[in-house]
Amino acid sequence: MTYSNYLTICCGVALSLLSCNRNNDSIIRQDAQRVIDCNLDDAVQITNLSDVFDSIILVPLDEKHLVGFIDKIRSDESGIYLSSDNIMYAYDWSGQEIFCLNREGRAMSDYLEIGDFALSSKYVAIADPESMKILLFEKSQGQYHKAISVDFFPEDIVFLDETTLAVNCGGADGFRLVILDIEKEEAIDGYFNFDQIFTEPLLQPFASLNGTPLYRTPFYADYYSFSKESGLKKAISFDFKAKNFNANDLKTVNVMGFNMLIDSKGNANIVNTYSVNSTFAINYKCQSVSEDSQYLLLVDTLNHTKYLLDSETCHDDILFYDHVILPLFYDSDGNGFISVLYPNLWASTFDSIDEERKNTVNYPRALSLFRKITKTENPSIMIYKLK
């Protein structure tokens, strides 16, 4: 049975509210250490990106290897790491390639699927759910270090420290969060999906708050920190007020013979969130407002201001780029929020800009960026800097 088939079958299975080593019931009822006001009613509606973003740092990727559409991006002080078409690429911050991992295969040192990857100061770890293993490569030049076979399907991973990974995974025991010692190659702690009574059994990606890994439960806007010593603690709650998820709004829908729980009210559902200094960028959907639109909420917790960007009304007047109205963020660092631009997609719309728009104050900057980006066929990494 493939991992994708396993996910499909498990979507209709209710798991009990149990923990491998800790009491999940007490974890759920914790008060968050920090609550972020995300009330949409008093957020300032923004129609131009230049109202909130000051500038863009551009990193064109060199053409030693041609890169397709990018799946995931991770970054740290050493450079930019990304996956595309089941290949792993590493670049320094000038865009020069450090190494490329193209090791699809069935050998122990190969992978069948890059489900996710994570960075430590020494290693790049790749989660291969199809082969049920995690591979470690030296971060400096991408040399193979070792593979760790596991008895679960590792889907999302993040380093807690140099010797410890947190793993979102599925397996015979259901969906759970596992803390894995990569030196001893053994699980040292684990949790079943502790909100299973109220949610569908789907794995959730990790987030990060200024370098601290966070785990979110499905539907809820609650994020948990976790460590080897103290386990799970509710760290942050994003409070959408009237649009907060409520378990009473759930209803059961039969999908291809499987019963799944859905939020019948279409409350705010976070897609991803990133933070830079005091500002959170929260990408979310809210079907009670619109079934098609996506929204980006920028919350400055220092100045207590909120800016709402709507995919149907917002304009990228920084890039004059019409294919993607809202910037799609993949990561963040100390400079800003990290996104991607594909030159072949941008060129067609940029060439069709009318004369009236060329007379705007931002057009010369966009033209300068356009010339840099189209020098290479590879995507360019962009960092959106806030004002």
E strand or H helix at 90, and its extent? strand 87-91
Which domains are present in the chain?
Answer: 35-386 (2.120.10.30)
Among 92, 158, 77, residue whose Cα is nearest residue 381: 92
What is residue 28's predicted lDDT score, i.e. its pLDDT? 57
What is residue 229's predicted lDDT score, i.e. its pLDDT? 75
Among 248, 238, 299, 298, residue whose Cα is nearest residue 269: 238
Residues of the chain with pLDDT under 70: 1-29, 173-174, 191-204, 218, 322-324
What is residue 193's predicted lDDT score, i.e. its pLDDT? 53
What is residue 8's predicted lDDT score, i.e. its pLDDT? 35
Among 50, 49, 37, 42, residue whose Cα is nearest residue 310: 49
Tokens of 276: 């830079």
What is residue 23's predicted lDDT score, i.e. its pLDDT? 47
Tokens of 351: 């060439």
What is residue 204's predicted lDDT score, i.e. its pLDDT? 65
For 106, list phi and psi in degrees, rounded to 5.
-110, 0
Q: 363 by DSSP, 3-state: which? A: helix
What is residue 323's predicted lDDT score, i.e. its pLDDT? 64
What is residue 352's predicted lDDT score, i.e. its pLDDT? 83
The dihedral sign for the CA sequence 78, 343, 329, 202: negative
Contacts of 292 (CB under 8 A, 6+ apart): 312
| CB atoms closer than 10 angstroms to residue 377 | 12
Residue whose entry in the numeric block shows the structure tokens 């201001």: 305
For 179, list phi and psi in degrees, rounded to 5.
-100, 120
Do the Cβ atoms of 194 and 28 come closer than 8 Å?
yes
Encode burial over 249-266: b for 16+ CB neighbours within 10 A, e otherwise: ebeeeeeeeeeebebebb
Among 161, 198, 197, 160, residue whose Cα is nearest residue 177: 160
The dihedral sign for the CA sequence 139, 143, 146, 152: positive
